[in-house]
């Protein structure tokens, strides 16, 4: 259980660093680029990332301070059924691909809006496909 606690503490540190980095980029980009079509899309993207990171930081911190929630998270994380579900649905590779497409989307929003929207559509498709696959596999297991 102590190893799991340390793993969660590392996640909080990583998410906090990512939150600070994204926040700095948000401020820098809002100062350097006016709220054009690409700029507003990028600001919305960064706002979404910031909200998701804040949610996960609060969720993990709550679990770290409450032993019952920590045990529940540990059981969910180490449950064999959940591990098999993550393996079948490719839950480790898909978020990396979606994050990569998100970064490419932010960069391309300043170059070409068509490419940016294409990457947005591709990342939404990957996200929806992952969710549907996970629901189907969860129902069949």
Q: Is position 43 within any domain?
A: yes
Tell me, yes or no, whether 113 lies in a domain: yes
Same domain, 56 and 99: no
Same domain, 3 and 71: yes
**Same domain flag for 93 and 135:** yes
- pLDDT recorded at residue 33: 65
Q: Which two tokens stand for residue 30?
A: 């809002």
Asked if 140 and 72 sit in the same domain, the reply is no
Which two three-digit tokens encode residue 135? Answer: 């629901």
Residue 17: is its pLDDT beyond 70? Answer: yes
| 3-state secondary structure at position 95 | helix
pLDDT digits (tens, 9 = 90+) for 70-119: 888 888 777 777 777 667 666 667 777 887 888 788 778 777 888 888 88
Same domain assignment for residues 55 and 93: no
Is 17 in the same domain as 71?
A: yes
Query: Does 45 lie in the same domain as 5?
Result: yes
Assess whether pLDDT exceeds 70 at residue 58.
yes
In a domain? residue 83: no
Average pLDDT, the chain: 79
CB atoms within 10 A of CB 8: 19
pTM over the 0.85 mark: no
- Pair 140, 100 in one domain: yes
pLDDT digit string (tens) for 66-76? 888 888 888 87
What is the extent of the structural domain holding 134?
Answer: 88-141
Tell me if 103 is assigned to some domain: yes
Among positive and negative, which fits the CA dihedral 68, 72, 73, 79? positive
């Amino acid at each position: 259980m102590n190893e799991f606690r340390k793993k969660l503490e590392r996640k909080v540190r990583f998410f906090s660093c990512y939150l600070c980095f994204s926040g700095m980029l948000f401020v820098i980009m809002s100062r350097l680029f006016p709220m054009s079509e690409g700029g507003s899309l990028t600001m919305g993207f960064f706002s979404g990332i910031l909200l998701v990171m804040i949610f996960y930081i609060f969720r993990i911190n709550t679990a770290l301070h409450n032993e019952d929630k920590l045990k529940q998270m540990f059981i969910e994380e180490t449950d064999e059924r959940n591990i098999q579900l993550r393996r079948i649905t490719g839950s480790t590779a898909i978020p990396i691909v979606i994050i990569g497409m998100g970064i490419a989307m932010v960069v391309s929003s300043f170059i070409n809006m068509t490419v940016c929207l294409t990457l947005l559509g591709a990342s939404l498709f990957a996200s929806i496909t992952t969710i549907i696959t996970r629901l189907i596999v969860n129902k069949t297991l």
